[in-house]
Amino acid sequence: MQEWFLRIADQFNQSFIYKDRWKLYLDGLGITLEVSLFSALIGLVLGIFVALMRLSQKEDGRSTILSKIAGAYIDVIRGTPAVVQLLIMWFIIMNNSKNGILVASISFGINSGAYIAEIVRAGILAVDKGQTEAGRSLGLSNAQTMIYIIIPQAIKNVLPPICNEFVTLIKETAIIGYVSLDDLTRVANQITSASYNAFMPLIIAAVIYFVIIKILTLLIGKLERRLRKSDNR
């Protein structure tokens, strides 16, 4: 047992402390969070617009061109792997760009936008239809009713799942090493190659991911409890 602990301690030293390798993990975490944050912002803006496009329809209930475009976008993005979308963006669409963070952020932003669009659409549809009728009876247009009455109420419904989408996004960005970004996962692979030890670098990366995700999950849980309290008032 003592030999096992000594071996683990030596592996930890080689993978984390030796040559200040902990700084590599810190830099990798910074890139992971940077791409995740930019992707989340792009996805949020894009998702709201796509959701509104998806909800647009004619007075007789038929779909519009905008709603069909939004539906096709959501189907294509949700029906293809994120890694394939990233590689298409890197090698084909933005092949002249040398900025991996920009390419990854746009790729994951487009991917996240499809999921956020469905979250926002579901949140808007969850608002009682009587709220729309009330807005129209006050003389508000469809757009004004949506902006001033429906969306503020839908925010409470969509905020927790959107935060959960950001958590998911952090884990999904583990593939950005494909576009030569030294994120947390790629740093672990590099240290694995340098130390000839795959166990400890990957365990360290997994622990860092777990801690970050756990902190965000606790914050989201706290937010949900506050929203529930406000509903009960």
Residue range 90-130, pLDDT digits in tens = 999 998 888 899 999 999 999 999 999 999 998 888 877 77
Inter-residue contact 87 to 178 (CB < 8 Å)? yes
Work out the average pLDDT over 147-156.
Answer: 78
Query: Tens of pLDDT along 15-41?
Result: 888 888 999 999 999 999 999 999 999
Work out the average pLDDT over 134-147.
Answer: 74
Query: Tens of pLDDT along 35-49?
Result: 999 999 999 999 999
Question: What pLDDT does 32 receive?
Answer: 95
Work out the average pLDDT over 150-167.
Answer: 84
CA distance 111 to 142: 29
Half-sphere exposure of 194 (CA within 13 A, CB side): 14
